[in-house]
């Protein structure tokens, strides 16, 4: 029980299900040490929103983008990438299969499961080397093994690997070339891969997002303030349609704009066609002025001409079959 408590506590520190919502792309930065100007900002945010990590510190919330990745952390990253944000591995039981990973280690369950899925056989001599830092060459094999499963072997690199510093005799040449062919990496610059360089947490964010095709963070359109006057709304289950006019008491021969907005569960619905019908005593005129914008609002403008002073002019607004009526009353 104590081991489980420690394990879960450390997992929360390193990589747990994200609690951030998807209400905006990046209304504010998630991690205090990853500003929007950081080259890996979007990759780290995507990793966080996919629930693969919650950073390296909770108070304040940090990601430690320049820290290197340990083999223990790698086990957690990979299994979360494979199985999703809610995944926890089975209990390691009496042993982890590795001499240097006691069952009290915070990542014992993760490391044993990584081995059980044949993604790793350790670092040699029945050891896993959990605190060793991951090189870029090791990372290539880790990622592709996790992506394709235990039986996967990359194609032969052939006569070259595409990188000046990775000869075909390098132990990871096939893995590195395949990682490049899948557009998961373009190297470290100048046609090099830097296979012995350590992988930073910032780099790993990008590699994990690309390997497991983690979803982008999509900005949800939110309703802006409704313009105009005399706002009227009708609720249809999850849908709310509202309408207003630019001037509820316009003078004759002036322009009046009617606004319509459709939302669903509070979210704006852009790209929806609006149709309005304006009633002048016994006659009606229509105005079809395009689609709702990003805030879910469409508008239609007409010259009201000699609309009767003191006579209420109703305007029916219809978007996606949902309707509401607003009005204005001309004055002299």
Long-range contacts of 11-14 (CB under 8 A, 24+ apart): 11/76, 11/106, 12/54, 12/58, 13/54, 13/55, 13/56, 13/57, 13/58, 14/53, 14/54, 14/55, 14/56, 14/73, 14/76
Handedness of CA 173, 178, 179, 183 (dihedral sign): positive
CB 112 within 8 A of CB 97: yes
Q: What percent of the chain has pLDDT over 70?
A: 87
Mean pLDDT of the chain: 87
Return the bridge partners of 277, or none.
286, 316
What does DSSP say about strands 229-236 and 239-245: parallel, antiparallel, or unpaired?
Answer: antiparallel
Q: What integer is the mean pLDDT of 105-127?
A: 95
Please state which of the ranges 85-89, 164-168, 305-309 shows the lowest mean pLDDT: 305-309
At 221 the pLDDT is 60
pLDDT digits (tens, 9 = 90+) for 254-264: 999 999 999 98
What does DSSP say about strands 297-303 and 313-319: parallel, antiparallel, or unpaired?
Answer: unpaired
Strands (E), the chain: 57-58, 61-62, 229-236, 239-245, 255-264, 267-268, 274-280, 283-287, 297-303, 313-319, 322-328
Query: Could you write out the three-class secondary structure of 154-215?
Result: CCCCCCCCCCCCCCCCCCCHHHHHHHHHCCCCCCCECCECCCCCECEHHHHHHHHHHHHCCC
pLDDT digits (tens, 9 = 90+) for 285-298: 676 667 888 788 89
Question: Exposed, middle or buried by CB within 10 Å (0-12, 13-18, 19+), for 91?
Answer: middle
Q: Where are the domains of the chain?
A: 2-134+198-212, 229-328
pLDDT digits (tens, 9 = 90+) for 184-241: 999 999 999 999 999 999 999 999 999 999 988 766 566 667 899 999 999 998 899 9
pLDDT digits (tens, 9 = 90+) for 1-40: 545 444 544 444 444 333 333 333 344 578 999 998 899 9
Q: What integer is the mean pLDDT of 308-319?
A: 91
Closest CA to 136 of 190, 82, 218, 192: 192
CB 177 within 8 A of CB 137: no
CATH class of the domain at 229-328: mainly beta
CB 96 within 8 A of CB 111: yes
pTM: 0.61
């Amino acid at each position: 029980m104590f081991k489980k408590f420690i394990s879960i506590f450390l997992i929360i520190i390193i990589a747990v299900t994200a609690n951030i919502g998807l209400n905006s792309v990046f209304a504010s930065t998630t991690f205090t040490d990853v500003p929007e100007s950081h080259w890996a900002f979007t990759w780290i945010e995507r990793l966080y929103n996919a629930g693969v990590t919650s950073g390296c510190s909770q108070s304040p919330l940090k990601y430690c983008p320049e820290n290197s990745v340990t083999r223990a952390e790698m086990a957690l990253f990979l299994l979360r990438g494979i199985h999703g944000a809610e995944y926890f591995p089975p209990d390691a039981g009496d042993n982890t299969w590795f001499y240097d990973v006691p069952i009290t280690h915070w990542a014992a369950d993760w490391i044993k499961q990584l081995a059980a899925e044949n993604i790793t056989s350790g670092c040699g001599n029945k050891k896993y080397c959990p605190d060793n830092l991951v090189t870029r060459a090791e990372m290539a094999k880790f990622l592709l093994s996790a992506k394709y499963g235990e039986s996967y072997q990359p194609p032969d690199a052939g006569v070259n690997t595409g990188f000046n510093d990775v000869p075909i005799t390098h132990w990871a040449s096939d893995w590195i070339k395949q990682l490049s062919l899948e557009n998961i990496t373009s190297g470290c610059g100048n046609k090099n891969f830097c296979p012995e360089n350590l992988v930073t947490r910032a780099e790993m964010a990008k590699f994990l997002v690309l390997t497991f095709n983690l979803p982008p963070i999509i900005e949800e359109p939110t309703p802006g303030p409704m313009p105009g006057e005399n706002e009227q709304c009708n609720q249809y289950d999850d849908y709310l349609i509202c309408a207003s006019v630019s001037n509820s008491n316009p003078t004759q021969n002036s322009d009046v704009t009617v606004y319509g907005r459709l939302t669903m569960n509070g979210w704006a619905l852009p790209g929806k066609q609006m149709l309005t019908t304006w009633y002048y005593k016994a006659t009606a005129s229509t105005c079809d002025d395009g689609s709702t914008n990003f805030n879910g609002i469409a508008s239609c403008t007409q010259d009201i001409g000699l609309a009767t002073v003191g006579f209420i002019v109703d305007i029916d607004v219809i978007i996606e079959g949902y309707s509401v009526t607003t009005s204005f009353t001309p004055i002299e």
